[in-house]
Amino acid sequence: MDHGYFVISYQRKKRDHHVFCLSIHMTGPPDLNLVLTEMSSPLVNKLMACAQAVAVGNLKLADVLFEEMEGLTAEETSEVTRKVVSYFAEALARRVHGVYPRNPFPLLPSSIVNTQRSLRCFEIIPATIDYVAAAHFSGKQPVHFIDFSIMLDRWEYDSLLRHFPSLRLLRPNRVFRLTNIGPNPCKDSNHIQESQRKLTELARQLSIDFQLKQFEANIPADIEECALKLESTSEDEIVIVRWEFELHKLLAVEGAIKRVLSKLKELKPKIMLIEEQEADHNSPDFFERFALSFQYYSRVFNYFNWVPCETDRKEILERHWRRQISNVVACEGIDRVERHQTFYQWKERLRRAGFRPGFATGCKFPIFYPFGGHQLFFASLWEPIDPTEFSRGVGIGNPITIQDASVSSVIEPEEVCSSDSEHDSADDNSNTLGIFWNQKKWSPEAVREYLVSSFTERESRRINRWMSRRLTGNSAGSDKKLSVCDTSLASLLRIPPSNTPIFEAKQYYVDDSVINAYFELLRKRWKEFPNLYMKNYSLPTWIMTFWLTGKWTESKVLSYLNTEKIAGTSKLFIPVCLKNHWILICVDIERRALLWLDSLSFDHAEKDVISRWIIEHLMPKLGYDNAQEWQFLEPVDLPRQTNEVDCGIFVMKYADCLALGDHFPFTQQDIPLFRHHIFLDIYRGKLRPQILSKNFRASYYA
C-alpha cells in the first residue's frame, strides 16, 4: 500500500484500435501530482496512441498513426494544440530515428541577443535575486555572487551592482565577485565580451572592486566541473548562489547533484535561490513522461499565447521550448538533461543534502507562478544547515519548546501500573532499561552491523524454496498468532527493479498484516532481551484509519487502548497509511517528543490533526498532561525511498532502528536485503537480535 503518483489506463474505442481514451486515477495527494486533464481531442488522442506504440516498440503502428495525425491536424480548432502536437510528434520521430539537437538552447547570433533585454524563459519572474541579495549588501564584507544561469541579461547584473555600493562612501572599492556558469546561447562569444566590458565600466564608476568570471557550461558534466572548482577567497566573504533553470540538468549524471550541493555547502552560502519549472519530467517510464510533459508544455504555450510578448522574443522562446520537448521525449541517459522535478521533490533532495528553507524579510518562499490555475514554475530560497545546531528535526506549525533531555528526568504517571500482563511482569525492568538507554545506547556502527547482517545457509535455502513455492492464501510461518497469509508474506521476496520502470507495483506492496506482525515482533524481541532493546509498544495500523475516516469515534479509540500495556514504554509506535503511503509516528516518551517519519517527506494534510490528537487526547489518557510542551520533530537525516513501493519497508526499519536508539544507518540500496530479512523474521516468528556469539545465535534461532 505505497504511494503512487497516478495510474494511466487505456480504453479501446469501438472498432478503432488506434484511438485511446486517457483516464487518470489519482492515488496520491493532488498538490503533489500533475493531474492530467481530460484529452478528448481526436488529434491529441492519436498522438497519445502513437506515443504508446513507440513505447512498446510497435513502429509499424506508429507510422500509420503519424499519417493519421496529419489528416486530423486541419480539424483541430486550437492553434496552440496544433503547435504543441506537432512539436511532440517531431520529438517522437527524433526518438525513433535517434536524431536530436545537442545544444540545449537554439544558437543565436550575438546581434540578436544584444537587442533583447531578456531571453529568459519566464519574464514574469520579479527581480527576486535583487530583492533577496540586497539584504546582504549592507555590510562591509566582500560578496561572491555565483550564478548558474544562461549567459544573458547584463541588465540584471547592472541592477545588482547598483544595489551593492550603498555604503561606498564608507568603504570604497568593496569587493564584488561575480561568477556566471551556464550555457552560451550564441554562435559566438561577442555578446559575452561586450557584457563584460560594460559591467566593468559600471563597476569603475561605482567604485566597486569588480571581479567577473564566466564559464561556458553547455552540458551537466561542465556544470559539475565548474562548480567543484569554486573557492572562497576570504573567511568573511558573503556567498550568494542562484540556480536559474539549471539545477535539474545535474540529475542526468549519477551522483552529480550530490557532489555539487556538497561543494556549495562547503562555501557556506548565506542564501541559495533556486528557480525551476514546476513539472515532473524525470520519470524512467517513457509514456508517463510523455503524457506529463505534453500536459505541461500545453500550459506553457497557452501562457505565452496569452502574455503580450515581442514577436522576435516569442519566436526565440518557442524554439527553446521546442528543444526542451525534443530532449524530454527523444533522449535517454546522460543526453536527457531536461529532468524537471516538482518543488516537493526538490525539497526532499535539498534536505538530504543539508539545506533547509531560507527566509527573506517581507517575502515568503517558495513562490509559485501559476497560469490558468496550474503552477508553471517556482522560486525557492535555501540555506545550509549549520552542523553545530540541533538538526534532528524541524518544527511543524508553531514550534513547541522542549526541555533539554540531558537535564530532564522522565516521571512516569503514578496511577499507571508498569505491568504488561501476568506473563510479562518478570521481563518488565524499567530500571534496567533506563540504565541501558543512558549508558549503553547502540552506536551507528553497531546498528549498521545488525541491519546488514548476512544470511546463514539455512536462511538462504529457506528463501530459495519460497521463491518457487505455490501460494495458497493460507496462514504461513511458525507463529500462527501473527496471522500473515503466504500471499502477503511473498510480497517481501519480490525485489523491485532499481534502474527500470516498475510495472504492476502492487505485487511489491506490504499490507497491514505484514506491518502489524513486524511491530508485534519488535515488542516480542524486547520482552526476550530487555537489556538490549528499548521497551516499545505499537498501535495496530487500523486504529488511526478508523478514527480519521470516522468509522470509530474518538472516545471509542481511547477506550480500546490498554494503558497497562503501554505503561513504562520508551517508544510508542503508530504506523499509519495515508493515501496509500505508509508513515511512522513515534511518541518518544524518553525524550518527550513526537517524531514524524516519512520516507517521501510529503506534506500530509492529516499531520496537524494527528499530532494534536496525540498531544491533547492520547497522551493525557496515558497520564501525561504536559504533552503540550513536547516537541514535534521531523528528522532531517532520515533515509528516504527513491521508488514508489518501499514505504512499508522503510516504516518497519525506522521502528527497528528507534528500538536501538536514534540512528538510521541505511539507504534505499539496503531495502532488497531488508525485504528478505523481514520475510525470515515473520516466517520464524522472531527478529534477529544483535548477537554476541555464534552459540548465542544458534540458541536463539533453534
Q: What pTM was computed for the model?
A: 0.54
| Domains of the chain as residue ranges with CATH | 1-107+282-333 (no CATH), 110-279+340-384 (3.40.50.150), 442-496+507-700 (3.40.395.10)
- State the angle between helix axes of 311-330 and 79-97 in degrees (0 to 180), rounded to the nearest 10: 40
Residues of the chain predicted below pLDDT 70: 1-40, 100-139, 151-155, 163-173, 187-189, 308-311, 360-363, 386-441, 473, 499-501, 503, 689-702
Asked if 521 and 663 touch (Cβ cutoff 8 Å), the reply is no
Beta carbons of 596 and 611 less than 8 angstroms apart? yes
Q: Please, what's the b/e burial string for 499-521 (b: 16 or more CB within 10 A of its CB; e: otherwise)?
A: eeebeebeebbbbbbbbbbbbbb
Closest CA to 631 of 399, 320, 378: 399
Q: Which amino acid is at 108?
A: L
DSSP states of 288-355: HHHHHHHHHHHHHHHHHHHS---HHHHHHHHHHHHHHHHHHHH--GGG-------HHHHHHHHHHTTE
- Cα torsion angle, 265, 270, 271, 272, sign: negative
Q: Write out pLDDT tens, residues 504-544.
A: 778 888 988 899 999 999 999 888 888 778 889 999 998 88
Whole-angstrom distance, CA of residue 528 vs CA of residue 424: 10
> DSSP class of residue 396?
-
* Inter-axis angle of helices 59-73 and 79-97, nearest 10: 160
Tell me the C-alpha distance between 540 and 545, whole Å: 10
What is residue 487's predicted lDDT score, i.e. its pLDDT?
82
Q: Is the peptide bond before 366 cis (omega within 30 degrees of 0)?
A: yes
Predicted local confidence at residue 261, as pLDDT:
95
Judge whether 113 and 191 are in contact, CB under 8 Å.
yes
CB atoms within 10 A of CB 476: 22
Specify the residue for cell string 490533526: 609
pLDDT at 433: 31
Q: What is the DSSP letter of 356?
A: E
End-to-end CA distance of the chain: 33
Q: Which helix (H) or strand (E) holds 26?
A: strand 16-26
The H or E element that residue 228 is part of is helix 220-228
Q: How far apart are CA 293 and CA 678, in angstroms?
A: 39
Radius of gyration of the chain (CA): 29
The pLDDT value recorded for residue 402 is 25
Task: Report the pLDDT value the prediction gives residue 32, as an integer from 0 to 100.
Answer: 27
Question: Exposed, middle or buried by CB within 10 Å (0-12, 13-18, 19+), for 170?
Answer: exposed
DSSP states along 535-599:
-EEE--THHHHHHHTTSS-HHHHHHH--HHHHTT-SEEEEEEEETTEEEEEEEETTTTEEEEE-T
* Phi, then psi, of 424 in degrees rounded to 5: -100, -10
Task: Give CA–CA dist 576/583, Å, rounded.
Answer: 5
506 to 517, 542, 611: CA distances (angstroms): 20, 20, 30
pLDDT at residue 498, as a whole number: 72
**CA separation for the pair 558, 544 (Å, rounded):** 11
Q: How many CB atoms lie within 10 A of CB 110?
A: 19
Instruction: Tell me if 394 sits within 8 A of 634, measured CB to CB.
Output: yes
What torsion do the CA atoms of 486, 487, 488, 490 make, to the nearest 10 degrees? 80
- Cell numbers representing residue 334 in the block: 546522460
3-class SS of residue 159: helix
Residue 389's pLDDT is what?
A: 45
Closest of 158, 121, 119, 581 to residue 378, by C-alpha: 121
Look at the block and give the residue holding cell 531488508.
674
Note the pLDDT of residue 420. Answer: 34
Nearest one of 141, 50, 164 to 96, comparing CA atoms? 50
pLDDT at residue 647 in the model: 93
